[in-house]
């Protein structure tokens, strides 16, 4: 039997949610009439199940694991931006930006986009604008990571949304990471901004639905 794997950093969030729901279920059962407490308790139980499911970690195979040219999606979601832009935090040069927006029903665990060494990491506290807001990439709480291998550099940001209040990132500068392994989690609605070299072969366009690990966003040059 295959059990759902839960993100290791999310058990506390799940426990707090369950405790709050348990108290509400007790109060509903104790102080509301039967015709009301049955639907209320049912909704709360469904919510408890949803919170647990929300923090699931899918078991996925990275395509062509030996191919270090491939850049796969950091997150599940919808591609909302594919454009040339100047990355001013670390790379300080023109790149192709690919942004993926996650809604409440997407997997929120994140995965390394390439195999390579972590060359940069920084956490930025900030606001909680809607994740698809144009300024959320700069103003919202986010973490920034750059990875490098023999084909170039890939820079990405985990960006909090209106309801996301915690970003978990496993980046450690100098450490070698492997495409498809988990690199962190963003709790609730959020976004990933990923930057690849101008000469990378981009494989997605705005509106595409992508899956972390499995969807190829770009191919790095030789």
Q: pLDDT tens digits, residue range 53-78? A: 888 888 888 888 889 999 999 999 99
Contact between 166 and 192 (Cβ < 8 Å): no
**Neighbouring C-beta atoms of residue 39, cutoff 10 Å:** 11
Which range among 5-9, 77-81, 82-86, 131-135 shows the weakest confidence by mean pLDDT? 131-135
In a domain, 1, yes or no: no
Q: Is residue 61 part of a domain?
A: no
The total number of structural domains that make up the chain = 2
Per the annotation, the verdict on 144 as an active-site residue is: no
Q: What is the pLDDT of residues 163-182, one digit of tens each?
A: 555 788 999 999 999 999 99
pLDDT for 1 beyond 50 = no
3-state secondary structure of 92: coil
The average confidence (pLDDT) of the chain is 88
Assign 84 to helix, strand or coil: strand
Contact indicator for 189, 66 with CB cutoff of 8 Å: no
DSSP H helices, the chain, are 11-31, 34-54, 136-139
For the cut 80, the answer to whether the pLDDT of residue 189 exceeds it is no
Domain containing residue 205: CATH number: 2.70.70
Query: Residue 121 pLDDT > 70, yes or no?
Result: yes
Q: How far apart are CA 208 and CA 116, in angstroms?
A: 26
152 and 48 assigned to the same domain: no
Range of the domain at 16: 8-54
Pairwise CA distance, residues 192 & 77, whole Å: 9
* Same domain for 74 and 49: no
pTM recorded for the entire structure: 0.84
CB 106 within 8 A of CB 76: yes
Q: Which of 10, 17, 136, 190 is catalytic?
A: 190
Residue 64 lies in a domain: no
Backbone angles phi, psi at 167, to 5 degrees: -115, 130
């Amino acid at each position: 039997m295959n059990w759902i794997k839960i993100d290791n950093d999310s058990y506390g969030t799940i426990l707090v949610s369950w405790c709050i729901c348990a108290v509400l279920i007790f109060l509903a059962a104790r102080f509301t009439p039967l015709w009301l407490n049955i639907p209320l308790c049912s909704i709360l139980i469904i919510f408890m199940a949803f919170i647990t499911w929300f923090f699931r970690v899918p078991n996925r195979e990275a395509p062509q694991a030996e191919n270090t040219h491939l850049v796969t999606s950091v997150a599940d979601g919808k591609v909302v931006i594919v454009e040339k832009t100047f990355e001013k935090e670390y790379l300080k040069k023109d790149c192709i930006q690919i942004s993926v927006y996650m809604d409440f029903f997407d997997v929120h665990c994140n995965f390394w986009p390439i195999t390579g060494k972590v060359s940069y990491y920084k956490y930025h506290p900030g606001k909680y604008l809607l994740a698809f807001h144009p300024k959320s990439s700069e103003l919202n709480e986010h973490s920034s990571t750059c990875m490098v291998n023999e084909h170039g550099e890939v820079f990405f940001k985990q960006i909090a949304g209106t309801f996301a209040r915690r970003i978990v990132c496993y980046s450690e500068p100098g450490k070698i990471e492997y495409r498809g392994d988990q690199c962190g989690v963003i709790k609730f609605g959020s976004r990933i901004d990923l930057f690849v070299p101008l000469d990378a072969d981009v494989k997605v366009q705005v509106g595409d639905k992508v899956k972390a690990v499995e969807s190829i966003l770009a191919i790095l040059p030789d």
